[in-house]
Chain A
C-alpha cells in the first residue's frame, strides 16, 4: 500500500467528488460524511501546513521564497506518522508538476509522495465550470486555460487564502503530471467516474493499494451521489466554495459530462481544441473540429 498520495488535477476536474467518495468509503458509516470535514481536506497549497512545518508565517515571504521551501515542507509532511497507518494519506494538489530553477520538483518528487491519482476532465467541460468558479466569462476562462503562465493566488497586493499555484495551460498542466517520472501515476477520467463510478473508483483504489469490499464500495458510491452532495451543500454550505457561488446555484452545480455541446459556442470549442488537441487526443477526448 502507498503511504502518501497526491490527488492531482487541474481545477474543476472532479477532485472534490473523488475526495467525497474516499471520505464516505473510509468512514464506514451509512450516513454521508460532512462535506465540510473531508479527511483528505489537506491541499498542497495550504498556508496553515506551510507555517506549521516551517514556523514561518507564509504571508511574510514572497511567492518565490515560499516555492523554494515547499519541497522541504512536503518532505516533512511525508515523514509525519499517519493517524491511521492502514490507509494512505491523501492530499489534494492543483499545482502543475513543476520544477524549481535548480531542477528540484516543487512537490519533492518521491520524497513528497509515493504516487498520484491524476484526475482529468474534458477541457470543454472544465471551462464552463471554471468560468462559474472564478466568476468570469467563458471566453475569459478559455483564455486562462490556454495561458501557459496561468497561476492562482498569485497576487502580491494581498494575502490570497492559499499559496500561489502555477497551473500553466490546461494541456501543460496535464502533461506535466503525465510526463514526470518521479512518482507513479494513475490517470482517472472524470467521464469514466461519471459513467461507472464504482469500477473507476475501484481501479484508482487498487493503484493506491486499497481493496475495499464490494458492499463498502457500493455504499460509498451511493452516499456520494451528486444529488445527495448538492442537498448537503444547500443545507449546510460548503466551506471550500467561493463566496459568490452561494447565491448562484452552489459549488456542486450540474456535475455532468458532455454539457459543453449545449453551452459552448463553436468559436470557444475551436479555441480550446486548437490549443490542446494533442493532449485531448491522448486522453480520448475526440475533437469536434478537424
Chain B
C-alpha cells in the first residue's frame, strides 16, 4: 500500500501516485482508499452528467477516455477500472487533479486551484487560470530556497474566522520549456504521462498533515498596457470574484455555494488577495520575482 497526505487527507492507494510526496508516518485509518476494481460504465441513478462524468448523490463517475473509469464515493472510496494495459502510467496524474478535487468537494471542502510555497510559517498561494504560470512560479521560488507545499490544489477552511490551507503536498509539474528555461534538466524528472513533455519536479518539502495559516493569495494575470504596478491589492469585492474564479469547479457544482462563499469571504475580508502581473516570457521573470518576494515578506510580517 502507498500512503500520502494531501489536502489534509490521509490517502492509502493500491498503486503509486508519483505526483504526491510519499508520507512515511501514515495514519492507521486513512481518510481515502484508492483501489483497483470493476466500475460500471453507467451510474444507474445519475442525476447529472457531462461529457466525461455522471453524478449521483454522494458519488461521481469520471471517465478518462481510453485510460480508466473512476468511481469516487462518499469522499473516501476511489475505485479505478483500468481501460488500457498501460493505464497505470497515465492514471495517477488525473487522480491527483480531478480525483482529489472531486473527493474534496464530496467532503464539503472549498478548494482553490493554486500552487503554494511556505514563507515564515505561512502559506503563500498562487492562483490563476490553467497555463498562467502557477507551477513555474513555485519552481522559481523553490530555486530561491522556499519550500513548495502545493502545485495544483489547496483545500481552504476558516477556523474562528481565520483562513487556513491544506496544501496538496504535490510535486511541481513543469513543461519541458520551463525545465529548460530554468536550467533544471539535471533533475531527470519523470513525465506525468509517458506521452506528455511535462514532468514531476521534486522540490516538495516533507509532507505535513496540519494546515498552514494563510499568508497571502496572489492571482496571476497577464500585464495590461500602461500598467506599471506588478502587484495590486484587490478590494473585497474583486477578491471574492478572483477567488471564486480560482475555485475548483465552482460552476459545475453549485450545491455548496453558500459554504464556499463563507470560506472565501474570510480570505477576502482579511485583505489577503493581490493581483500579480506575471510576465508571459521567461526573459522578464527576475524583476517580477524580486518584487513579489519583497512584497510577500513585508506582507507576511505585517500580517503576523
Contacts and interface: CB of A to CB of B under 8 A. Distances in A.
B177 A157 contact: yes
B52 A238 contact: no
Contacts of A169: none
B129 interface: yes
A237 B224 contact: yes
Contact of A75 (B51, B64, B197): B51
Contact of B65 (A48, A69, A235, A236): A69
B65 A57 contact: no
Nearest to B131: A159
Contact of B175 (A52, A159, A246): A159
B192 A55 contact: no
Interface in B132-189: 175-178
A265 interface: no
B53 interface: yes
Interface stretch (A59-67, A124-132, A213-221, A274-282): A59-67
Contact of A157 (B131, B175, B225): B175
A158 B193 CA distance: 14
A166 interface: no
Given A48-B129, A52-B251, A55-B249, A60 B94 contact: yes
B1 interface: no
Nearest to B179: A157
Interface string B76-114: 000000000000000001100110011000000000000
A239 B224 contact: yes
A51 interface: yes
A52 B176 contact: no
A26 B177 CA distance: 42
Interface string A152-183: 00011111110000000000000000000000
Contacts of B53: 54-55
Interface in A52-85: 52-60, 62, 65, 68-69, 72-73, 75-76
User: Do most interface residues of chain A lie in helix, strand or loop, or is the interface mixed?
Assistant: helix
Contact of A56 (B64, B197, B226): B64
B177 A158 contact: yes
Contacts of B176: 157-158
B50 interface: yes
A234 B225 CA distance: 7
Contact of B195 (A57, A62, A72, A234): A62
A240 to B, nearest CB: 10
Contacts of B102: 55
A244 to B, nearest CB: 9
B223 interface: yes
B302 interface: no
User: Do most interface residues of chain B lie in helix, strand or loop, or is the interface mixed?
Assistant: loop
B249 to A, nearest CB: 6
B301 to A, nearest CB: 33
Contacts of B223: 243, 246
A158 B129 contact: no
A42 B285 CA distance: 29
A236 B131 contact: no
Interface in B181-221: 192-193, 195-198
A54 B130 contact: no
B219 to A, nearest CB: 14
Interface in A233-266: 233-239, 241, 243, 246, 250
A189 interface: no
B91 to A, nearest CB: 11
Given A56-B52, A57-B97, A157-B197, 4 more contacts: A75-B51, A157-B176, A237-B225, A243-B281
The 5 closest A-B CB pairs, nearest first, are A237-B224, A72-B51, A237-B225, A157-B176, A158-B177
Interface of B: 50-53, 62, 64-66, 93-94, 97-98, 101-102, 129-131, 175-178, 192-193, 195-198, 222-227, 249, 251-252, 279-281
24 contacts: A48-B129, A51-B130, A52-B249, A52-B251, A53-B51, A53-B252, A54-B52, A54-B53, A55-B62, A56-B97, A59-B130, A59-B131, A59-B198, A60-B198, A75-B51, A155-B177, A157-B175, A157-B176, A157-B177, A236-B224, A237-B225, A237-B226, A237-B227, A246-B225
